[in-house]
Amino acid sequence: MGAQLRVYRRRIRSVQSTKKITRAMELIAASRIAKAQQRVKAAQPYAREITRVISALASQQNIDHPLLEEKSEAARSAILVITSDRGLAGGYNSSALKVAMSLEERVKNEGKTPSPYLVGRKAVAYYKFRNREVAESWTGFSEQPTYEDAKMVADALIEAFLQPSDEGGVDEIHVINTEYVSALTQKPVANRILPLVVEESDAPPPEGALPLYEFEPSAGALLDSLLPRYVQTRVYAAMLESAASESASRRRAMKAATDNADELIKSLTRAANAARQAEITQEISEIVGGASALTAS
């Protein structure tokens, strides 16, 4: 066997091994998409109802609460960036980080100081490589976040929001996550969750009229209890959406890698066959040449 043919066959075996890995990762990611979607759907009713309760409370007259108060001279903005702990997910992380950089630039243009809070090793590595200051970071649960993880992150954000900005606190909180639109489409978005935006309008709410609650003890006391839970729910929902998007993006990336491996194997196989045919032709030519030389002598 010629040296060139051995090289081709070695490369084919290597690509076949890589294809097995990418195919396995594709199947694992596909199974996690369904589980992540189920978790998103399971969390939606609670998120929807607590949003309606908060809306009903915030619509009351004479409500003065720090989580509803729009600060006239905001100095610092917390930006929670949700990425993955692992790579091989296509443009999932780069898209979210691109939105984060755009939001930081906009915050700076408004005269505020961005204060990044990071979820996922990819975001941590991105900021560390660029020597950017980070307020706090969490890793290890990007693919399967729990409510306890979301509560830990949300509590840190709320604590920073309740502190004065001159003592290291923040005046507003933004969350950057990736929405799961479909198996083929995931969209990074940035939303401000604090302070809440209270808009006066005569139009009915999109989900129907708000319930007529009787508040006991008072709307302010209920807001003290419910608003932190509301923030925790928003962070948890963002993490679940990002987890589903991460699995979908990884499945798509691994499928593309598997398809590319198939094409490369076909190309290498054709090249190996051509090299083998060339060796056979050369051997036949040498035999015919030798026989002709013996006949002539």
Cβ neighbours of residue 69 under 8 Å, at least 6 residues apart?
A: 195
Using CB atoms within 10 A of its CB, is residue 60 exposed (0-12), middle (13-18) or buried (19+)?
middle
pLDDT at 21: 93
pLDDT at 66: 66
* Contact indicator for 92, 178 with CB cutoff of 8 Å: yes
3-class DSSP state for residue 115?
strand
pLDDT at 265: 92
Q: List, for the chain, all residue ranges whose pLDDT scores fall below the cut of 70.
A: 1-2, 58-72, 197-220, 296-297
The DSSP bridge pattern shows strands 136-138 and 186-194 to be unpaired
pLDDT at 67: 64
Domains in the chain, please, with CATH?
A: 27-196+209-252 (3.40.1380.10)
pLDDT at 213: 62
Q: Which of 100, 237, 75, 239 is nearest to 172 (CA)?
A: 75
Q: Which helix (H) or strand (E) holds 141?
A: none
pLDDT at 264: 92
3-class DSSP state for residue 170?
coil
pLDDT at 85: 92
d(CA 204, CA 200): 11
pLDDT in tens, 149-193: 999 999 999 888 888 877 778 888 999 999 988 888 899 999 988
* Contact indicator for 95, 257 with CB cutoff of 8 Å: no
